């Protein structure tokens, strides 16, 4: 008994090795799929982030265009006010209509060494005087040690210098982006930060160019209109020379529009002498809160949470920024988008789900296939050992009895018994070989059914003698009442296959029901529905519940089981069910309190 235990241990070891190798391969495949999934999700997240950044940059550029267009219109409106109107010493002229600007607090003029004056407000107007006093106080609080006019002239000069320093072509950035598109492709280039930064700088240069052209053209038209307008003749009594453009600038946290005006000849303005070398500053004190609200109102649909912040002052004076791509070119504001790139987790897409499902299904299929192959291998190994056991007994009998008969050791009166034993063992071997060959034919698909239409009684009548002989060997009787009208039912069946199935059932009854009471096996007919059934019943011990699921499984008997139970290799019932199903019927085990009952169903003949 030591050898079987060693063989069983070796079989278990081989099984663990196979399953271990399969688990290792599955782990490698799942690891590769996990790495691939992570890479795909990372790439998808990066792509989604790049798209979100590109979308934000596009909305930002459009928002800057809108705000600069609106800012340019505000500056344009102030720039179109003729410079002569700022020179009137008597206050506003009835013959000249000055546009109303709700964003402006006060329009004023100032000489480098002169006081601030307001030519558009009556001299005695309390509101105008209050605003003028507030403006003088604001300029007086500035940290630079300059008087009001000098401070304004300094601010106007610096704002003009900064404006001229702004790039208005963007040629370098455009060339760099062209090179990026040629080297990396449009999609990859657009997702890069360098490309977006260059694009923003180029757009800012284009905005500065458009705003500058708009204001300059308006200024030229204003001077032509001023020269051609008779109602302006003699206002201030002076002839302005060069008139600059209005530029926005922060002074002491207040927003101003300033421009410089020079004169062709020496003149007296407000009691002060002006030479061609000096400049008059004309300006507008703007309401920065209203300006901010007006500009932000243009972009609420693009950037709902955006704000505008004043640009950092240089010596208390803040002209437009030269480098910042988020800075406006019309007013010294910087756009704060207050909108980040969403960092939401990327969901697994349908292709990845399909890939995972396919991999898991493939692994499950491989596991099922390996398990099936291993079980089939074990069953076939058990079958070989069981067949070996089944062959050993009759071969031993053949060898022993033939030797005894040849040597004359058997008396004459007992020779007949010995020959009957040899005949019975030969039949047993023949039946075993027939089952094995028939099962092999079904497995290969080479078995061919030859169905015929005939009454069920005529089908089994020729077989009854063979069945009865087999049962008589173990002391059992066969009972079959062919006079029952049900046996006249026409069925379609292969006679050889039916005989093979029924003989296997009779053989099993002879093995397991021998010695039962009553000592008989019953074959009876049953009709119902669209099928006809042949029942084979015995009064033996029956089949245990744990074995009922295994009796129709091929090769389920090992050598040890064959030795401990009745002869057989556990192939007969599996073969019988396959033969029955191949002929369009089935073989079932019926529930019964005592004994065993098998039902062979056959298809009815077409009417």
| CA-wise closest residue to 328 among 217, 219, 210 | 210
pLDDT band at 324 (very low <50, low <70, confident <90, very high): confident
The enclosing domain of 437 has a CATH number of 3.30.565.10
Enclosing domain of residue 327? 41-336
Predicted pLDDT of residue 456: 93
Predicted pLDDT of residue 292: 94
Residues 269 and 377 in one domain: no
Highest mean pLDDT among 161-175, 479-493, 573-587: 479-493
Residues 315 and 372 in one domain: no
pLDDT band at 4 (very low <50, low <70, confident <90, very high): very low
Of 304, 336, 368, the residue at which a domain comes to its end is 336
Does some domain include residue 55?
yes
For residue 392, pLDDT over 80 is answered with no
Residues 387 and 501 in one domain: yes
Average pLDDT in the 347-359 region?
A: 81
Mean pLDDT is lowest, of 337-346, 466-475, 519-528, for 337-346
Mean pLDDT is lowest, of 159-163, 256-260, 363-367, 490-494, for 159-163
Highest mean pLDDT among 396-400, 474-478, 546-550, 568-572: 474-478
Of 336, 352, 371, the residue at which a domain comes to its end is 336
For residue 552, pLDDT over 90 is answered with no
Gap between the Cα atoms of 427 and 445, Å rounded:
27
pLDDT band at 526 (very low <50, low <70, confident <90, very high): very high
For residue 2, pLDDT over 50 is answered with no
Residues 103 and 212 in one domain: yes
Mean pLDDT is lowest, of 118-132, 368-382, 489-503, for 118-132
Gap between the Cα atoms of 89 and 109, Å rounded:
11
Helices (H) and strands (E) in the chain, counts: 15, 17
Instruction: Tell me the pLDDT tens digit for each residue of 146-194.
Output: 666 778 888 888 888 888 888 778 788 888 888 888 888 777 777 677 8
Average pLDDT in the 403-424 region?
A: 79
Q: Which two tokens stand for residue 455?
A: 């009454």
Gap between the Cα atoms of 523 and 503, Å rounded:
12
**Crossing angle of the two packed helices 412-444 and 572-582, in degrees rounded to 10:** 50
Does some domain include residue 21?
no
Q: What letter would DSSP give residue 81?
A: S
Gap between the Cα atoms of 547 and 550, Å rounded:
5
Average pLDDT in the 569-593 region?
A: 83
For residue 208, pLDDT over 80 is answered with yes
Residues 329 and 400 in one domain: no
Residues 328 and 193 in one domain: yes
Predicted pLDDT of residue 511: 86
pLDDT band at 229 (very low <50, low <70, confident <90, very high): very low
Residues 278 and 423 in one domain: no
Q: Which residues of 484-506 are buried (b: 16+ CB within 10 A; e: fewer)?
A: eebbebebbbbbebbbbbbbbbb
Q: Tell which wins on pLDDT, 297 or 125.
A: 297
pLDDT band at 244 (very low <50, low <70, confident <90, very high): confident
Q: Do 595 and 537 form a contact (C-beta atoms < 8 A)?
A: yes
Does some domain include residue 102?
yes
Pairing of strands 477-479, 333-336: unpaired
Preceding peptide of 518 cis, ω within 30°: yes
Average pLDDT in the 277-294 region?
A: 87
For 597, other C-beta atoms within 10 Å of its C-beta total 18
Highest mean pLDDT among 243-257, 295-309, 408-422: 295-309
pLDDT band at 235 (very low <50, low <70, confident <90, very high): very low
Predicted pLDDT of residue 560: 44
* Full DSSP string of 192-218: SHHHHHHHHHHHHHHHHHHHHHHHHHH
Cα-trace Rg, the chain: 55
Q: Tell which wins on pLDDT, 2 or 393.
A: 393
Predicted pLDDT of residue 152: 83
Q: What percent of the chain has pLDDT over 90?
A: 19
Residues 133 and 224 in one domain: yes
Predicted pLDDT of residue 88: 63
Give the chain's domain count: 2
Mean pLDDT is lowest, of 35-49, 90-104, 228-242, for 228-242
Average pLDDT over the chain, rounded to whole?
A: 79
Instruction: Tell me the pLDDT tens digit for each residue of 290-311.
Output: 999 999 999 999 999 999 999 8
Residues 309 and 440 in one domain: no
Q: Tell which wins on pLDDT, 409 or 256.
A: 256
Does some domain include residue 3?
no
Predicted pLDDT of residue 544: 83
Predicted pLDDT of residue 450: 77
pLDDT band at 517 (very low <50, low <70, confident <90, very high): confident
Residues 445 and 484 in one domain: yes
Predicted pLDDT of residue 301: 93
Residue partners of 44: CB distance under 8 A and separation at least 6: 346, 349
Mean pLDDT is lowest, of 99-103, 341-345, 374-378, 541-545, for 341-345
For residue 3, pLDDT over 50 is answered with no
Pseudo-torsion of CA 46, 51, 57, 58, nearest 10°? 170
Instruction: Tell me the pLDDT tens digit for each residue of 11-66.
Output: 567 778 888 888 888 889 888 888 988 888 888 888 788 788 888 888 998 999 99
Does some domain include residue 23?
no
Average pLDDT in the 559-583 region?
A: 68
For residue 475, pLDDT over 50 is answered with yes
Q: Do 149 and 116 form a contact (C-beta atoms < 8 A)?
A: yes
Largest alpha-carbon pair distance within the chain? 169
Average pLDDT in the 90-101 region?
A: 60
Does some domain include residue 425?
yes
Of 336, 369, 384, the residue at which a domain comes to its end is 336
Gap between the Cα atoms of 494 and 497, Å rounded:
5
Q: Tell which wins on pLDDT, 208 or 562.
A: 208
Residues 195 and 314 in one domain: yes
Residues 319 and 365 in one domain: no
């Amino acid at each position: 008994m030591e050898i079987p235990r060693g063989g069983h241990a070796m079989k278990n070891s081989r099984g663990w090795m196979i399953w271990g190798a399969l688990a290792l391969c599955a782990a490698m495949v799942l690891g590769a799929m996990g790495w691939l999934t992570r890479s795909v999700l990372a790439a998808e997240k990066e792509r989604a982030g790049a798209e979100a950044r590109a979308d934000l940059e596009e909305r930002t550029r459009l928002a800057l265009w809108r705000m600069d267009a609106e800012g340019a219109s505000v500056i344009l409106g102030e720039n179109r006010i003729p410079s002569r109107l700022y020179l009137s010493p008597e206050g506003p002229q009835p013959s000249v209509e000055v546009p109303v600007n709700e964003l402006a607090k006060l329009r004023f003029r100032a000489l480098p060494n002169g006081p601030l004056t307001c030519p558009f407000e009556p001299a005695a107007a309390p509101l105008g005087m209050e605003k003028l006093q507030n403006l003088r106080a604001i300029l007086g609080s500035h940290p630079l040690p300059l008087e009001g006019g000098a401070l304004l002239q300094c601010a106007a000069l610096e704002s003009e210098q900064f404006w001229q320093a702004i790039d208005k072509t963007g040629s370098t950035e455009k060339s760099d982006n062209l090179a990026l598109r040629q080297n990396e492709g449009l999609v990859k280039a657009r997702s890069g930060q360098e490309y977006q930064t260059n694009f923003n700088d180029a757009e800012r240069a284009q905005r500065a160019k458009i705003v500058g052209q708009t204001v300059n053209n308006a200024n030229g038209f204003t001077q032509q209109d001023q020269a051609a307008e008779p109602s302006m003749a003699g206002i201030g009594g002076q002839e302005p020379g060069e008139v600059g453009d209005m530029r926005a600038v922060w002074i002491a946290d207040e927003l101003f529009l300033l421009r410089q005006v020079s004169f062709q000849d020496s003149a007296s303005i407000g009691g002060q002498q002006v030479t061609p070398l000096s400049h008059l500053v004309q300006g507008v004190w703007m309401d920065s809160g209203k300006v901010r609200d007006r500009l932000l109102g243009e972009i609420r649909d693009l950037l709902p949470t955006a704000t505008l912040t004043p640009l950092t002052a240089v010596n208390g004076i803040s002209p437009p920024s030269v480098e910042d791509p988020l800075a406006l070119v019309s007013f010294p504001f910087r756009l704060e988008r207050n909108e980040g790139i969403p960092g939401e987790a990327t969901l697994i897409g349908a292709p990845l789900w399909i890939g995972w499902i396919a991999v898991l299904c493939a692994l499950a299929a491989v596991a099922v296939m390996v398990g099936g192959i291993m079980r089939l291998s074990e069953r076939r190994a058990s079958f070989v050992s069981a067949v070996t056991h089944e062959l050993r007994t009759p071969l031993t009998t053949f060898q022993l009895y033939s030797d005894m008969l040849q040597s004359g050791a058997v008396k004459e009166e007992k020779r007949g018994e010995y020959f009957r034993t040899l005949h019975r063992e030969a039949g047993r071997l023949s039946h075993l070989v027939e089952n094995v060959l028939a099962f092999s034919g079904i497995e290969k698909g080479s078995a061919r059914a030859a169905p015929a239409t005939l009454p069920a009684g005529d089908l089994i009548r020729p077989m009854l003698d063979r069945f009865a002989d087999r049962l008589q060997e173990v002391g059992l009787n066969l009972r079959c009442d062919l006079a029952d009208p049900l046996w006249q039912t026409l069925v379609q069946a292969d006679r050889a296959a039916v005989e093979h199935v029924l003989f296997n059932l009779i053989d099993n009854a002879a093995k397991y029901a021998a010695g039962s009471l009553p000592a008989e096996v019953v074959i009876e007919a049953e009709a119902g529905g669209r099928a006809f059934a042949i029942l084979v019943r015995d009064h033996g011990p029956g089949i245990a519940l744990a074995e009922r699921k295994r009796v129709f499984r091929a090769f389920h008997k090992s050598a040890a089981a064959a030795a401990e139970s009745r002869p057989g290799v556990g192939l007969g019932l599996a073969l019988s069910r396959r033969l029955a199903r191949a002929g369009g019927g089935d073989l079932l085990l019926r529930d019964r309190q005592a004994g065993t009952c098998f039902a062979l169903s056959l298809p009815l003949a077409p009417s």
